[in-house]
Amino acid sequence: MTAVLVLTGASILSGCNSLYSQGATAGAGIAGAAVASKVTNNAAVATGIGLGAVAGAKAGVQYTQRVAHAFAQDQIAQAAGPLDVGGIASWSVSHTVPIEDDERGRVTVSRTISSGPLDCKEIVFSVDTPATKDQAAQSNFYVASICRDGNAWKWASAEPATGRWGALQ
C-alpha cells in the first residue's frame, strides 16, 4: 500500500499529465487487487473490485483535469473581457498543484458577437512556449467565445479548443 501512495504522489507532483493519468490508474489497479485479495477468493468479485477502483481513479483524474482547464479558461476570459476588438493582452496560469504545466500566452478580441444584456465576444488566444536549448519558441493559436456574467467574463465555448484540451473542457 505504501508503494501505491508513493506512486500516486509522484505522479501528482510530476506535472506530466499522462504520467499522472497512468499513475493514478495503475495505483488504483494495484490498490483494487490488494483489497480484492483481502475480501474474496471469487475471481468475478475481485475483477469487479479492480474495475471499480480503476473507473474511480479515471473519474478522479478527469475531474482534476476539468478543474485545471476551467481555471485556465477563466484566466484567459478575464484577460480578454475588458479588451476592445483588436486589443491584445497577456494571460498566464500558475497551478498550485502541478497537475498540468504552467502556461502563458496572448489573447485578442476578434469580434463582438453581441452587446447589451447578452455581452459576448469571440477571442483568439495563443499558448506560448518559450525557447529552450533544444527547441525554438513556439505559439499555438485557438479560437473561443466568452460572455459577461455580471462583472466577470466567463468561457462560453461548448467545446473549447478541442485540439488543445481534447474532449475535456
pLDDT digits (tens, 9 = 90+) for 66-102: 777 788 899 999 999 999 999 999 999 987 767 778 8
CA angle (19, 11, 129) in 5-degree steps = 60
Contacts of 125 (CB under 8 A, 6+ apart): 76, 80, 91, 105, 106, 107, 108, 141, 142, 144
pTM for the whole structure: 0.64
pLDDT digits (tens, 9 = 90+) for 115-157: 888 999 999 999 999 888 999 999 999 999 999 998 999 998 8
CB 135 within 8 A of CB 144: no
User: Alpha-carbon distance 104 to 93, whole Å?
Assistant: 6
Contacts of 108 (CB under 8 A, 6+ apart): 80, 83, 86, 87, 88, 89, 123, 124, 125
Instruction: Clarify whether residues 103 and 133 are in a common domain.
Output: yes
Instruction: Clarify whether residues 64 and 102 are in a common domain.
Output: no
Q: How many residues does the chain have?
A: 169
| Domain end (from 41, 68, 95) | 68
Segments forming the whole domain that contains residue 37 = 2-68
CB 99 within 8 A of CB 72: no
- Given this model, what pLDDT does residue 2 score? 39
Instruction: Clarify whether residues 64 and 86 are in a common domain.
Output: no
- Given this model, what pLDDT does residue 11 score? 45
- Given this model, what pLDDT does residue 117 score? 86
By percentage, how much of the chain surpasses pLDDT 70? 58
User: Alpha-carbon distance 90 to 106, whole Å?
Assistant: 4
Task: Tell me the average pLDDT of the chain.
Answer: 75
Would the pLDDT of 168 be above 80?
A: no
Instruction: Clarify whether residues 80 and 102 are in a common domain.
Output: yes
Instruction: Clarify whether residues 92 and 30 are in a common domain.
Output: no
- Given this model, what pLDDT does residue 14 score? 43
Instruction: Clarify whether residues 115 and 127 are in a common domain.
Output: yes
